[in-house]
Amino acid sequence: QVQLVQSGAEVKKPGASVKVSCKASGYTFTSYGISWVRQAPGQGLEWMGWISAYNGNTNYAQKLQGRVTMTTDTSTSTAYMELRSLRSDDTAVYYCARAMGIMENAFDIWGQGTMVTVSS
Amino acid sequence: QSALTQPASVSGSPGQSITISCTGTSSDVGGYNYVSWYQQHPGKAPKLMIYEVSNRPSGVPDRFSGSKSGNTASLTISGLQAEDEADYYCSSYTSSSTLGEVFGGGTKLTVL
């Protein structure tokens, strides 16, 4: 079946970096983009950015520009999201999602989420 | 502060209909037919319910419908069921400075 499986929970210190993986299966990886969305504890959803699995083009949320990098490895159908210079307010569940639709802005398949905790 | 405005909570009894609004601007909801709605149960990943204003993905019951008028999009759930109790989020493509996707703050639906 179509699914996205993410890497496990992470605990990081302020200033460190984290890299979350998202392995796709059950569909042609390069036919869809991947977006990353995060959700702080008890809060709403926040779009972080999008990457084309076809050509690697990216579009990042302005507030994360310079701290986030999204990449893909088409040989393993895996997407990655790296966030640097972590702060306490980066503590959140991070989701990858398959991007579909005309603008690839509708997210029809989601990973299970990866909890990232930033604490000294 | 979220870019799209949703009511914090709505409620309804089983069998009734409810509508959740999502208000943006001409740079997002009003300017494009690229509004989506997501359902999220506690501790679970969101689920796509509506995309491109009114399209339902395969498997989503036709009790869920979407519409848009001006800068406001709406999600209507008819024939409310207990399992519909969840958080609902709207999102839209935006051409503002963020140039990407923006979410609403979410609406807690309680089935009485």
Question: What's the start-to-end Cα distance of chain B, in Å?
Answer: 29
Element (H, E) at B67: strand B64-69
Which of B92, B97, B105 comes nearest A62 by C-beta? B97
Residue of B nearest to A4 (CA): B45
Tokens of B82: 């207990």
Which of B34, B99, B103 comes nearest A46 by C-beta? B103
What is the three-state SS of chain A? CCEEEECCCEEECCCCCEEEEEEEECCCHHHCEEEEEEECCCCCEEEEEEEECCCCCEEECHHHCCCEEEEEECCCCEEEEEECCCCHHHCEEEEEEEEECCCCCEEEEECCCEEEEECC
Q: Tell me the percentage of chain A whose pLDDT exceeds 70.
A: 100
Owner of token pair 């059950």: A26
Per the CB < 8 Å rule, is B36 touching A112?
Answer: no
Residue A3 has a CB neighbour count (10 Å cut-off) of: 14
Q: What is the pLDDT of residue B31?
A: 95
Per the CB < 8 Å rule, is A47 touching B105?
Answer: no
Looking only at the bridges linking them, the beta strands covering B86-94 and B100-103 are antiparallel
- From chain B, pick out residues whose CB is under 8 angstroms from the CB of A105: 34, 36, 91-93, 100-101
Q: Could you give phi then psi for residue A83, rounded to 5 degrees?
A: -120, 125
Say whether pLDDT at B1 is over 80.
Answer: no
pLDDT tens-digit map of B23-50: 999 999 999 999 999 999 999 999 999 9
Cα–Cα separations (whole angstroms), residue A16 to A13, A28, B53: 6, 34, 40
Tokens of A103: 């603008």
pLDDT tens-digit map of B67-100: 999 999 999 999 999 999 999 999 999 998 767 9
d(CA B32, CA A67): 29
What's the mean pLDDT when you consider all of chain B? 95
DSSP 8-state class, residue B26: T
Tokens of A71: 């990449």
Q: Tell me the percentage of chain A whose pLDDT exceeds 90.
A: 96
What's the mean pLDDT when you consider all of chain A? 97
Per the CB < 8 Å rule, is B103 touching A47?
Answer: yes
pLDDT tens-digit map of A7-64: 999 999 999 999 999 999 999 999 999 999 999 999 999 999 999 999 999 999 999 9
Per the CB < 8 Å rule, is A107 touching B46?
Answer: yes
